[in-house]
Structures are given as C-alpha cells and as structure tokens.
Amino acid sequence: MDGDDAETKPSIVDVTPRVSENVGAVGVGTVVRRSRRLDVVAREHAKQQETSEPLQMRKDYAGLVGPAFFSPLVSQFGRSDMTSASDMRRDASYLARYIDTLDVILYSAPSATHQLSMNRELWDLVRLVRRLPVRVSESPPVLNALLFGIDIVLSPDRALSTPTLAREFRMDVADTVQWIARIMDCGLLNDVSMAHASRIVERLRDIQEDVGRRVASSDFHQYTSII
C-alpha cells in the first residue's frame, strides 16, 4: 500500500529557469552600448562616397568636353552646301539653336582642360557667322546667341584670366568692340542681348586696359635698357 502511494505521488518539478552559460549574449534587459565615434566615422565615410563620385565625374567631363563634344560640333558649321535649304547658314532660327547649344556646352565647363582652344573656336565661329547675310547674322536670335557665347568667354569666373585673354585674343577684342558698338547704335538688340552686350563691353575695356598697361610697361623697359 505504501509502495503504491510512493509510486503515484506526484513529484515536484523544478521550474526554476536556468541561467544561460553564454553570459555575453544579448537578451531582454541587456544594455547595448554604441560608440558615438563609430557613428561619426560612418557618416564621414558616407559623405566622402557621395562627393567623390560626382567630383570624379566633373574631372572626367572637364577633360572630355572639348575634344568629345564642343570641337566636333563646331566643325559641323559650313559642312553642308550653302545652296541647300536645310543649311543652317540660311536659317536664322536653326543657326541660333546651333550656337546656343555650343554656348551651353561652354557654360557647363568653366574648368575644362581645353578651355583655351574652345574659346578660340568660339571666337572663330563668331567671326564666320558675322560674314553671313545680314538677314541671318543680324537677326535677333542669332545676335543673342553670339553675344551669349562671348559673354561666357569673357566672364571673370572662367578659367582664362584677363592677361591670357589680352594675349591670346587681342585682335578679336578690338574687332568685337567695334562690332558691338555698331549693332548697339543701329538698335538691333533686344533687352536680353543688350544685357549681354553691356557686360561684354565692360569686360573688353578691362582687357584693353590690361593690354595698354603691358604695352606701356614693355616700352618703359625698352627705354630704360637703352639709356
């Protein structure tokens, strides 16, 4: 009887939770400490990644924009037959859009590797366009496109300095002063073109003054070397 009772008597089950031997495990109630320095380093690294790629792209573009985009497009001027109705030299609207495209490319590359050659090509193009029939060369859209391009070339924030412009484009500067004076006197400019022309004239005067100072300095040195 006692034996049966011992067999049927329920045993007390140990339900006390056991402490895990892995003391370092993260669980409920565990405080996780995170280094603020790691966050700062991570943010700085992310910023560097964000800025390095666009910077590299700008460097690549600066080296390619001249030979890959600007020069090939400039070379298309006058490729077609002048007798063709589709020739840009006969269509003021078409020609203006063509020059505007070149202006935008030039404007987008203030630090282009081939800045000097690009500026030279634009000056040469301006001179060629001015030789076209007046109905095309002096139409408002073409004049505005030409002046916009010259305004970009002469902008103080471009890669070429005043001494460089004075040295490389001395004849173009003198010729452009006379040309702008004529079209302004003839009342051929609208408000947008007049704004471009005013900035160009001011900049051309600075360049001419720089040329004058250099010539005077050169004459002075020659004079002192003789005496």
Q: What is the pLDDT of residues 67-119, one digit of tens each?
A: 889 999 999 887 755 556 568 888 999 999 999 999 999 998 877 788 889 99
Is 3's pLDDT higher than 50? yes
Q: CA-to-CA distance for 90 and 86, rounded, in angstroms?
A: 7
Q: CA-to-CA distance for 184 and 179, rounded, in angstroms?
A: 9
Is 61's pLDDT higher than 80? no
Residue 10: the pLDDT is: 52
Q: What is the pTM of this model?
A: 0.69
Is residue 112 a contact partner of residue 159, using CB atoms and an 8 Å limit?
A: yes
Is 192's pLDDT higher than 80? yes
Mean of pLDDT values over 170-178: 89
Residue 224: the pLDDT is: 41
Residue 157: the pLDDT is: 77
Mean of pLDDT values over 128-144: 94
Q: For residue 148, give the amino acid letter.
A: F
For 224, counting Cβ atoms within 10 Å of its Cβ (0-12 exposed, 13-18 middle, 19+ buried), the class is exposed
The secondary structure of 132-182 as a DSSP string is S-HHHHTSHHHHHHHHHHHHHHH-TTSSS-HHHHHHHSHHHHHHHHHHHHH
Share the mean pLDDT of the chain.
Answer: 78
Q: CA-to-CA distance for 54 and 59, rounded, in angstroms?
A: 9
**Which range is least confidently modeled, 11-20, 40-49, 105-114, 185-194?**
11-20
Residue closest to 110 by CA, chosen among 152, 48, 140: 152
Q: Comparing 133 with 50, which gets the higher pLDDT?
A: 133
197-209 in b/e form (b: 16+ CB < 10 A) is: bebbeebbeebee
Is 225's pLDDT higher than 60? no
23-36 in b/e form (b: 16+ CB < 10 A) is: eeeeeeeeeeeeee
Is residue 106 a contact partner of residue 154, using CB atoms and an 8 Å limit?
A: no
Residue 128: the pLDDT is: 94
Residue 99: the pLDDT is: 96
Residue 223: the pLDDT is: 39
Mean of pLDDT values over 191-217: 86
